[in-house]
Every structure is written in structure tokens, then in C-alpha cells.
Amino acid sequence: MRVGCPKEIKVHEYRVGLTPESAAELVHAGHEVLMETKAGEGIGASDEVYKKIGAKILPNADAVFNEAEMIVKVKEPQAVEIARLKPHHVLFTYLHLAPDPEQAEGLMKSGATCIAYETVTDKDGRLPLLKPMSEVAGRMSIQVGAHFLEKAQGGRGVLLGGVPGVQPANVVILGAGVSGYNAAQIAVGMRARVQVFDKNPARLEELDREFNGRLETVYSTKAAIAEAIKEADVVVGAVLVAGAAAPKLITRGMLKTMRPGAVLVDISIDQGGCFETSHPTTHSDPVFTVDGIIHYCVANMPGAVSRTSAFALNNATLPFTLALANKGYKKALQDDAHLASGLNVYEGAITHEAVAKDLGKPFKKPAWLS
């Protein structure tokens, strides 16, 4: 199969869909790898590195899309990339369609087969291709929260871990999944006072045992969240409903009860955000303020640590990329129900039930997957 990897063009996105190691595995398996020139420069991988492992370097994205059968990316395709997609293409990347009807319409019109990293599952119902980036975003959330708490950044002027005789910052984490867990690890490690909210009592018990009293677990209710954010310095939104838009857990009215200069970090922004006042931002202009509360809503947080993120992502995606290339997409999806759960768009229809529901579109499962 001809597997193409264009250079990412989303603002300040430095990751790459195929690392040299992944490209080499595909070449070794007998496939032709087509890299857009400079696609890997954001992770320190030159065209020469890709050439040495047998990849073909093409001069621009048009050439990659024209020659490739499968397109492997990181972030959702931008408008100019959607315009390049044809019915024979298989697109394998993050999509996050639920809060993005414009992208969904474009992909449906393209006729391409679109498989989303974020809805591929494993035998336990987890999301293995979302996990590595959730780990990165969770850890980064505390870094950026601590940074924007600084007075020079408009924050409250609070040191996350405090010092002897002075209280540490109060960190509220909404969601105890992969992102929330990783945020908690860093926040606890920096000696902040940490509360983690979730609706799964079993998960809260796990965190309570693992952290051995170094954080507080709270069953998530609207009232409990409203009370906790009154004293919060940093609030991390780490809520995920697979394929669906994130629930709005903090309303604009609730901001007025918070301390001016507190920081909201919305990891869920890719799925629409879990704060009512959230809207996507970029690494070059990462924050905005509403009612005195700083909002950090960068939609591609892991892109800032591109080398770490790209290798972590490829470690997870490569087995699926190889399966799609080795077997062809139909056989690969028929053989693996977990990979099949990643199918979001096929022949102009939405093929993931949760995505279809949030977009208000009909759900249509391909007959060959039944």
C-alpha cells in the first residue's frame, strides 16, 4: 500500500504522523511510504533520515495526497486538506468530530474512509490511541496551570506547592481518567492540595489507595463542583465521553464565585470543552480571561512537546497502521472490532453512534461490518 504522511499544518502543531521508526516498519512490511518534505522537522527528523529508511520524499502535500492510498496524520484535517481527500483515501488520524460539524460535513462530502484515533478501543473498553496524548496533556495541564498562576501572567501569584508556613495552591481535577490521573500525579508531586472528582466510585477508590491520602477524592455532583471551585487556584477539565461532546461542568455563572486570577485548564477542548466559557486557543495565544478567570484552552496541547508526543503516539498507532496497510481497511476492520470502533465516516455517512448523535446526523453502520 502507498502510505502518505503530510506535514501537519494546524497552528503550532509540530508532531508527525509517522516517525522514522514507524516509517521503517511500514517499508520493511513491503509498503511505500510517502513523506512530505520537512514533515518530521518538528521532532528533529530530517528528510535524509526518512530517505535512509526507504521512504520517498515528496515536495508538497498535494503530491502526497495524489499518490497515497492511506493518509496518516496527527491532528484533524484542516479545510485545505479535506479538499484534497478523495473517495479512495483512507484517513487515519485524530478527528474529534462531535463538536465540529463543519469538519464532519467536509469529510462526508469527500467520500473518504475516515478512522479516528480517539474512538479506537481495546478489550477493556479503553481508548489506547487517546491514552498517550491524554497522559501528556494531563501532565502538561499542571505545568501550564502553575505558570499562569504567576502574577506576571495575570494569575493570583500563588506557588503551586507553597513553602513551609504558607499554604499550597488548591487544584481541582474534574475527571479521574487518564488525563485526570496524570494531572493528579504531577500536582501531588508538586505538593499542591489536590481534589479529584469523578462519578465512578470504584475509580475514586483506586486513586485513594494509590495516592495513600495525598489527595482527596470526591464523587462528582454539580453542587460539589460548585463548592470546590470557590477555593480553587487551578481547575483542570479532564472529562471524556468517548466520541461525544464533553459535558459543561462549570457555567459562566459559577465563575463569579471563583477567586480572581484562578486558572481553568480545559483538556477536553478537543471535544468542545467542559467549561461553558471555553473556546479553542493556540500555543501562540493560549489564554483569555472571562470574569477575572484565566482560561487555557489550547486544542493541541501535546504539540508543544512534539518529540515526546510523536513517539508516544506512534508507539500506540503503529500496530493499527500496519494492520490497515497489510490487510486493507475492510479486512483490518472486519478482523478487529476494536479498530472498527474507530470508523467515523464511510461513503458519506457517520458510522460512529455517539458522534452521529452529537452531530444530529443519521448513524449508518456499513453492511460489511455487521
Q: How confident is the model at residue 205 (pLDDT cuts 50, 70, 90)?
A: very high
Mean pLDDT within 177-195: 98
Q: Could you tell me if 90 and 324 are in contact, meaning their C-beta atoms sit under 8 angstroms apart?
A: yes
**Does 208 qualify as catalytic in the annotation?**
no
Mean of pLDDT values over 201-207? 97
**Could you write out the three-class secondary structure of 335-352?**
HCHHHHCCEEEECCEECC
3-class SS of residue 142: helix
Q: Give CA–CA dist 130/283, Å, rounded.
A: 20
Identify whether 270 is a catalytic site residue. yes
For the cut 90, the answer to whether the pLDDT of residue 58 exceeds it is yes
What percent of the chain clears pLDDT 70, i.e. is strictly above it? 100
For residue 251, the number of C-alpha atoms closer than 13 Å in the C-beta half-sphere is 5
User: Residue 47 — very low, low, confident or very high, per pLDDT cuts 50/70/90?
Assistant: very high
Cβ count near 370 (within 10 Å) = 5
Joined together, the cell numbers standing for residue 286 give 493560549
pLDDT in tens, 239-266: 988 777 889 999 999 999 999 999 999 9
Cα(30)–Cα(2) distance, rounded to whole angstroms? Answer: 10
Question: What does the pLDDT look like over 92-126, one tens digit per residue?
Answer: 999 999 999 999 999 999 999 999 999 999 999 99
- Average pLDDT taken over every residue of the chain: 97
pLDDT at 272: 92
Selection from 346, 109, 132, 229 nearest residue 370 by Cα:
346
Could you tell me if 225 and 174 are in contact, meaning their C-beta atoms sit under 8 angstroms apart?
yes
The x, y and z cell numbers of residue 241, run together, are 465521553
Report all structural domains of the chain as residue ranges with CATH numbers, in order of start: 2-120+305-369 (3.40.50.720), 134-299 (3.40.50.720)
DSSP, collapsed to helix, strand or coil, labels residue 198 as strand
Res 370 pLDDT > 90: no
CA distances from 139 to 82, 189, 198, 307 (A): 32, 11, 18, 15
pLDDT of residue 242: 76
pTM of the full structure: 0.91
Catalytic residue among 31, 96, 295, 352: 96
Check: CB of residue 203 under 8 Å from CB of residue 267.
no
The one catalytic residue in 270, 295, 352, 358 is: 270
Average pLDDT over residues 290-298: 98
Residue 235, phi then psi, degrees to nearest 5: -120, 125
